Chains A and B, each alone.
Chain A
């Protein structure tokens, strides 16, 4: 954990792809206790949400969120960093059969009195290279 701090702006971070299925989405319902019918009820998902029709069940946004926190922690921990913040916006729904992959780019390295703070631009793309989530993370590397 005593690695020398050598993170530079522009550095890329690659996360692990995830392939949601009806089964993984239901497993997430059970693990998160979020049983919103958006995630399991085919009949309900035939209806419109304002002007939007999702055309079937969608994955939890927070499953996306977890995928990004995994990427950030897997990247930071071996280098002595602590994942401190994540802000995300969902840009498009994720459906069973999609493959989604998170990635990040170091946008800023900001030394403060007690740490080096790293700001990372993050996004999640699907198999069609469309952005389904985007946001920003912060990692603290204490001095």
Chain B
């Protein structure tokens, strides 16, 4: 990342879109991100998924991939690393209600990853305000890594 990632999600929160402002179909601002072995290792360690295919280069070289790949769930990190601080996904109190992801090819260390993202839909259920996030990650060769939707309950 060549911008300062703000870990305080309250900072700049006033600039983020609230549910009323979200326009389904409107592209969100995104940022290219270069994936590293270190970032993959950190995520694998945090999720207890220490498959040697993700963390051991010597082992990974013996597999059909010929080197370390990222686990499918790498989009967890990519969602935040490919979006700017003012993205509304960071709004404190955003609650994840469900996710649906399709995996095409694995992400790899050194990949320069881009995100195409938008809100696909927004709706009200009971007292809650929902948004549907629509996301596709590409590598530097314009190949799809994965695509997915997330349903979040927006803070009020």
Contact = CB atoms under 8 A, between A and B. Distances in A.
A61 B77 contact: no
Contact of A36 (B73, B90, B156): B90
Interface string B93-129: 1111111111100000000000000000000000110
A20 B86 CA distance: 29
Interface string A10-53: 00000010100000100111111111111000001000011100
Interface residues of B, number: 42
B99 A36 contact: no
Interface size, A (range) = 35 or more
A89 B98 contact: yes
B76 interface: yes
9 contacts: A24-B46, A35-B90, A38-B93, A60-B96, A61-B96, A62-B96, A85-B100, A85-B101, A90-B96
What are the nearest 6 A-B pairs in CB distance? Answer: A33-B80, A31-B46, A61-B96, A66-B47, A87-B100, A66-B73
Interface of B: 5, 7-10, 39, 42-43, 45-49, 51, 53, 64, 71-73, 76-77, 79-81, 90, 92-103, 127-128, 153, 155-156
